[in-house]
Structure 1
Amino acid sequence: MINLFSAINWISVLIAFVAYFLLGALWFTLLFKKQYAHSLGKENDTLQNSSPIFFIGPAVCSLVITITSAILIDALGIDSYGKAIEFAFVIGIGYLFTNTVNIAINPNIPKPILYGIISGMFHLIGILIVSVVIVAMR
């Protein structure tokens, strides 16, 4: 079995992960705070996010996505910004955005399409940043 982790530039993974995680912090608490609360039907409430899971969970998920992207970028031989952007759009739309919308379509999300667009676009832009950073540091 080929060691999938041996070719990874862990510094690029760390930088890409931090950028992705910080994008999420800005996205949901500053840039789209009102729209996000509206999508959850909580526009008049203060969102309770002080529990550690609201910080650790997204961090772990962002890290897993970043490591997986690094493995795929290496395995696919992606070595240019154009290919990195193409990869980001295929993965971003094909998996991250689509899965986010699918998860949002449930009775607990009052505005699933809005939620899917807000959260899905975060992931699309996040994977774009991740892909470009990883390719830039290859």
Structure 2
Amino acid sequence: MLQKISKISWMGVVLSLVFYSFLGWLWFTVLFPNQYASTLDKLGLIPANPEPIYLYGPPLTILPTIITSALLMVLLNISSKKAAMEFAFIIGLGFLVANTFDIAINPNIPHPMAYGLLVGCFHMVGIFVSCLILQALSKK
């Protein structure tokens, strides 16, 4: 397994993390801030200066997903753009979107379907582009 970990493109991991983090900022603060707040019944209640955990937490939680995806891409020998897109689709729907809806369907999320759709789409875009970055920078 250590041999496989050494084949991960760590530059790809870093660039994917930067992209995913930027996408999160763009998605939730520029493109869809009101829609996101509305899914939580927090319209007009999101603080202008959020606590630091809301800024550094998401990159820290998505990093294991990116590293795991990079390792799986090595183990599965995903070397073409087409294979990377197929892999991203499977990982995105099978893990990220499914988990997002699982989180959404609890009593603390007032609009679970809207939340799941908005956040699930964010993760689909994020993992899709991340897998393309990982494939493009993979060690051949």
> Secondary structure of the residue that 1:24 maps to in structure 2?
helix
Residue matched to 1:127:
127
TM-score where L is the length of structure 1? 0.94
1:103 is aligned to 2:103: yes
TM-score by structure 2 length?
A: 0.93
1:55-74 maps to which residues of 2 (within 5 A)? 55-74=55-74
Partner of 1:86: 86
The residue that corresponds to 1:31 in the other structure is: 31
TM-aligned CA deviation for residue 46 of structure 1: 2.9
Q: Note the C-alpha offset of 1:56.
A: 1.8
AA of the residue aligned to 2:20: Y
Name the CA shift for 1:120/1:56 in 2 (closer, same or farther; >3 Å): same
Offset of 1:50 from its aligned partner?
A: 1.8
Alpha-carbon separation, structure 1, partners of 2:118 and 2:38: 11
Give distance in 1, aligned partners of 2:14 and 2:76. 20
Give structure 2 stretches of 5+ with no counterpart: none
Deviations 1:40-60 (A, max 9, x none): 011132346621211121011
Cα deviation code 1:15-42 (max 9, x no counterpart) = 1110011101100001111110110011
Distance apart, 1:5 and its partner CA? 1.8
Q: Does structure 2 conserve the Cα–Cα contact (< 8 Å) formed by 1:39 and 1:112? A: yes
C-alpha distance in 1, partners of 2:32/2:137? Answer: 30
- Over the matched positions of the two proteins, sequence identity in percent amounts to 45
More deviation, 4-13/23-32:
4-13
Unpaired runs of at least 5, structure 1? none
Cα RMSD over matched residues? 1.2
Name the count of aligned residue pairs: 137
